Amino acid sequence: MIHYKKVSAAVCVIVAVMIGNAWAASTLHIGPGAGTKCATGCSGDPNLIAGARNVDIYQTSGGAATLSQPVLFIMAVPTQYDSAMPALPITVAKEVNPYPGGTVTTDTFTFAAGGTYGLINPISDGFFGTMAAGQELYSFLGLGGANNSNSFTNFAEEDEEYLDLTVTSFNIHVYAVNGNLAANGLINLSLVRNVPKGTFFVAYSQANGKAYSVPFTEAGLKCTY
């Protein structure tokens, strides 16, 4: 009887790991906008986005289901520059399904709402709190099944390496894009110029109970104005 219990526990652990791995997909990439060389991502670790007047979310999977609406667009802004952050930095959102050459549709966008895919409640419109040392972006926001490489440590180290910025915390802003992101599809977001330098961009959504997120190697980093 004791031996049977031990085997059952081991089986449960294996099954839990298999389910967890099956539930997550790190197939979303951030690029510098439709029509650019790295629109589908460049594995830049992270991808450097010069002026970030345009940022895109690309679905690399050719077999993925169309993601549920909304697609969450997430920005991690160095706290010392957050006072310059516009309340709603997106000016235009357009989807291309598939990319390139597919159907172009204009999407709507707004502030993300608490409870979306488990998202925590905002402190104010679009603002979801401050992430500091020892934290990871998706888990900080309550978004399950996501890649866990978008950590404070990775963000702070890359801001220091590429931009000579010392960042002690990041203010997290989340926006809801009401558009279809299908297999090999792309959502292009036009942003206002004064999004602070040193800001990281990622995205998140779900389809058929499966989470889709951005790995740090394909996150975006605004590096110039």
Question: Which pLDDT does position 23 carry in this prediction?
Answer: 55
For residue range 174-209, what is the model confidence (pLDDT) as tens digits? 999 999 999 999 999 999 999 999 999 999 999 999
32-88 pLDDT per residue, tens? 999 999 999 999 999 999 999 999 999 999 999 999 999 999 999 999 999 999 999
Q: Region 90-109: what's the mean pLDDT?
A: 98
The model scores a pTM over 0.85:
yes
pLDDT > 90? residue 17 = no
pLDDT at residue 12, as a whole number:
35
- Domain layout of the chain by residue ranges: 26-222
Q: Quote the CA–CA distance of 139 and 25 in Å, as a whole number.
A: 15
Average pLDDT, the chain: 91
Question: Helix, strand, or coil here: 185?
Answer: coil
Q: Which of 4 and 204 is assigned the larger pLDDT?
A: 204
Which pLDDT belongs to residue 83? 96
Does residue 2 surpass a pLDDT of 90? no
CB under 8 Å to 71, separation ≥6 — which residues? 57, 176, 177, 179, 181, 187, 203, 204, 205
The pLDDT of residue 10 is: 38
Q: How many residues does the chain have?
A: 225
Query: Cα dihedral sign for 129, 143, 99, 201?
Result: positive
